[in-house]
Structure 1
Amino acid sequence: MKRVLGSVRARATLAASLVVAVALAAAGAAVLLSLWTNLSEQAGTEAERAAQKVATDIAAGQPYGNLSLDSDDQPVQVVDEAGKLVAVTEDLERISGTGVDRVTPQAPGAVNGDDDDDDAGDGDDDPREAGELGEASFSDGSATIDGDTADYRFAAVPVEVEGKGTLTVHAGAPLTAEQEAVSTALTVMLIGFPLLLAVVALVTWLVTRRALRPVEGIRGEMAAITASEDLTRRVPVPDTHDEVARLARTTNETLAALEQSVERQRRFVADASHELRSPIASLRTQLEVGAAHPELLDVAGAVEDTVRLQRLAADLLLLARLDAGERPADARFDLVALVRAQVAQRTGDRVAASVAADSVESLDVSGSRGQLARVLGNLLDNAQRHTRSSVSVSVRRAGEWALLEVADDGEGVPAGERERVFERFVRLDEARARDDGGAGLGLAIARDVAVRHGGALTVREAAVGGALFELRLPVA
């Protein structure tokens, strides 16, 4: 139960039902209020017409006994200035809401509509001359006529009669029809609204289930991928153009990137193990021979293998830091000064490198001086292994970029291999001895460092026919 209520489908259904319920309750209340108000106004209008009819007769001089007060469903009271009941509907047993609860006339000589007052006119006078009607006021109450009790809307119409002062006529219109109409509407709402809510909840549940079915498919496939550890599998992509389809495509792209990353990591571990095995085995062999026959110990070879092993371990550690997302330092320095210092330190190279005469005198960049020095060193090492007679380094500016170029006059890099040379543990000349060719990490490290600095590293053919590696960095 808790799992069902915690699902997106259940929450969406509950939320939609609550919103519709609130809207229906508000709309129902507004409809009932409007219906009751309109019907009450109609009853008030009917009561006012009845009161005005009686008041008009009084204003015309009609005696109390001649007033039309015998309606079965409209109680009428006539009250004088002193608050005395002077005329009332016959068979009226009880009344409330008019301010006069009496149902028996109090005026002298008047009994339920009989009045012998000699001051009353003969009914032929003009009402505007005999009396004047005032504005009606309204109230709600109840009355019992001939044993039947009901709620009424009362209208009170004052009329000023000469010699009698101001009389007030109270006439009521029954609210039974209005109450029945409101009750019927309320019953319909109490029956219809729950049914409507049930329909809304069911439709929301079905629509949400249909909309989330692809998500369940994605979830199930991801669970299967996690259980099987098979990153070659992909989640199903629905044939739609909505958010779920985009989610599926993004998930597949993530799985593809993860698969490539894992595969690259596996190759990296395998190649690193293979590369480490050779110098370690060589070093162990030399030490075992030296332990048995000290006079045969090749100290120079052992030192060379140790240095090679140390460099390989340093390369692997740097690659691990780069893969982990290590950000370079944000130091500002002169790239030209760095190039001249690195070239000046390489006194043991087979071919002396030179700084091109057309290089700029100074050009500042930002980043890690040590890592960029490592990039330049790797590019120079690569040039030394392939050049015939010259290695040239130049630094120039192209817009907002600093360009560092290392060129040699060797055989160059074939056009089809110019991206592959930047892959890890790749050596184009497989017949070349590892001691001469290195482990195949230098260019891979150089490109990774360049990318981490917001730049790029590419290779193309040099003007002298060899390879030209171009390092592009943003100017500080």
Structure 2
Amino acid sequence: MPGRWPPGSWSLRTRVTVAATLVVGLLLVAGAVGFYATLRHAVYASLHARGAKAVSALAGTVRASDPRGPGALHPGDTGFLLLQVLDDRGRVRAASDEMAGRPPLADLRPDASHPTRAGRTTLAREEVYVVATRVRTRHGWRVLYAGAPMPGFSRSRSYFTGLLVLAVPLGLLMAAVSVSLAVRRALRPVRKMSAELAEVTGSGPGRMRRVTVPVTHDEIAQLAASVNVTLHRLEQTVVRQRQFVGDVSHELRSPLTGLRAQLEVALEHPEDEDWPAVARAALNDADRLQRIVTDLLLLAKLDAGVPLDREPVDLGDLARQEGARPRRVPVEVTAEDGVVVLGARGPLLRLITNLLDNAARHARTGVTVTVASSGSDAVLTVADDGDGIPPADRDRVFQRFQRLAEGRKRDNGGSGLGLPISRDIAHAHGGTLVIADTRTGAHLVLTLPRAGAPSPPPRTPRPAR
């Protein structure tokens, strides 16, 4: 409604404090009312029992002697001192000393359906509890009254009301202060987390800041731990983005600069240039740029964790298909039948192509490819008879744009992305790509989960350093 202060504009501390105070207030009022009702019921039950006993004793006296006159009735030990006997016309026939000369104590009229009645009346500004009954004597029907003053109950009710008026606001104040302080203390780690998150930035070369995890094992500590996990993932994303931008600027600068310089030189003396040769050189540079851009886009897709469209793929068929392509050296493929993995056909074919191209580039006489099953895994091994990879360089070859001296000597047009892309594709399929120990050449071993076997979750590629 317009003009109302919406609860959504309140702070969490205020909302919790108000809600808790209202609940405590309702409980205090309900408890006080319930206590008063219980006390009142107990008092009236006791009075009714004692009053019934008093009129019962008075009824026995009236039946026996039908007393008359003031002071003719004598109270017993029930505490009901106000006794009267009335006839059918409502005239006082007998009374105790305390009721001498007084009019009828009450207007209660018991009958056959209700032989005993109880009620309250006021006598000399004092509340009196009265029990009445009707008995038959030899002189006719009589109505008997037995009353007891209730000064203590009246005073206690006044005290109780006053105490309630004072205790409820005081209790509400104490509850509000206690809840407010408790919520403030509980939210202290959240305020600290908020301040630390405000200082988090993705810029700068340093490590992204983390929030402080409270020593408690409550929900706030779990929230802080989840925030740190999220910040870690965000940091990895930022690092991958920076690496991608650096990779693009690093790899595209050289061929673009060379292509531009070549065209500028040709245009300075167009009559002296062999334009078909210039076009072929420019086309070679454009092809290299296209390969680099394609590799970078595939790396960006793998780094971003874009899910791959998977289907059953026969790893042996892919190896035979790619091994049949002409290369510098012959490729021999030995593959078991039915080695099926669940993966994306295009990226897996790209992986095998990269491995065979790399092996053919370094081999002396040939490349051997084997595909076999090993338990719940499919294993593809690519071996060449070249110089091999030194153990000290086996991690470097999987880093982006890292090329060993022999590789640069054999192929100046390479980008150094073939093996890194292959390992990232293997990780995206929940597999591994490693360099195995061997006496001759290099052995690269690809391991992937077979179709139908439990597959581990895809691994997040580590950004290149």
TM-score normalised by the chain length of structure 2: 0.82
Q: Distance in 1 between matches of 2:395 and 2:103?
A: 109
Aligned partner of 2:304 in structure 1 is: 324
Q: Distance in 1 between matches of 2:154 and 2:394?
A: 91
2:165 pairs with 1:190: yes
Give the counterpart of 2:322 among 329, 342, 349: 342
Aligned partner of 2:448 in structure 1 is: 472
Q: Distance in 2 between matches of 1:220 and 1:187?
A: 48
Q: Secondary structure at the match of 1:312?
A: helix
Give the counterpart of 1:6 among 6, 10, 13: 10
For each residue in 1:95-140, what CA deviation from the matched residue of structure 2 results, as whole angstroms up to 9, or x when unmatched?
Answer: 545138xxxxxxxxxxxxxxxxxxxxxxxxxxxxxxxxx9973422
2:344 pairs with 1:368: yes
Q: Secondary structure at the match of 1:154?
A: strand
Q: Secondary structure at the match of 1:469?
A: strand
Q: Distance in 2 between matches of 1:213 and 1:263?
A: 32
Aligned partner of 1:44 in structure 2 is: 48
For each residue in 1:234-265, what CA deviation from the matched residue of structure 2 results, as whole angstroms up to 9, or x when unmatched?
Answer: 33344444433443344334334433332332
Give the counterpart of 1:294 among 241, 252, 273: 273
Moved more, 465-474 or 374-383: 465-474
Aligned partner of 1:130 in structure 2 is: none
Q: Whose radius of gyration is greater, 1 or 2?
A: 1
Aligned residues: 435
Aligned partner of 1:128 in structure 2 is: none
Q: Secondary structure at the match of 1:432?
A: helix
- Residue 142 and residue 263 in structure 1: after superposition, are their counterparts in 2 closer, same or farther (change >3 A)? same
Q: Secondary structure at the match of 2:309?
A: coil
Give the counterpart of 1:68 among 73, 76, 83: 73
Moved more, 438-447 or 31-40: 438-447
Aligned partner of 1:308 in structure 2 is: 288
Aligned partner of 2:239 in structure 1 is: 263
Q: Distance in 2 between matches of 1:438 and 1:239?
A: 53
The answer to whether the Cα contact below 8 Å between 2:120 and 2:128 also exists between their aligned partners in 1 is yes
Report the alpha carbon displacement of residue 219 of structure 1 after superposing the two structures with TM. 0.8
| % same residue | 38
For each residue in 1:383-417, what CA deviation from the matched residue of structure 2 results, as whole angstroms up to 9, or x when unmatched?
Answer: 22333333222222223322222222334444454
Aligned partner of 1:280 in structure 2 is: 256
CA RMSD for the aligned pairs?
3.3
2:90 pairs with 1:90: no
- Residue 3 and residue 275 in structure 1: after superposition, are their counterparts in 2 closer, same or farther (change >3 A)? farther
Q: Secondary structure at the match of 2:30?
A: helix
Structure 2 spans left out of the alignment, 5+ residues:
453-465
Moved more, 372-381 or 80-89: 80-89
Pairs within 5 Å for 1:202-241: 202-226=177-201, 232-241=208-217
Give the counterpart of 1:17 among 21, 25, 38: 21
- Residue 387 and residue 62 in structure 1: after superposition, are their counterparts in 2 closer, same or farther (change >3 A)? same
TM-score normalised by the chain length of structure 1: 0.80
2:443 pairs with 1:443: no
Aligned partner of 1:103 in structure 2 is: none
- Residue 472 and residue 4 in structure 1: after superposition, are their counterparts in 2 closer, same or farther (change >3 A)? closer
- Residue 136 and residue 180 in structure 1: after superposition, are their counterparts in 2 closer, same or farther (change >3 A)? farther
Q: Secondary structure at the match of 1:395?
A: strand
Q: Secondary structure at the match of 1:139?
A: strand
Structure 1 spans left out of the alignment, 5+ residues:
101-133
Aligned partner of 2:429 in structure 1 is: 453
Q: Secondary structure at the match of 2:187?
A: helix
Instruction: Tell me: higher relative CO, structure 1 or 2? Use CA pairs within 8 A at least 6 residues apart.
Output: 1
Q: Which amino acid aligns with 1:294?
A: E
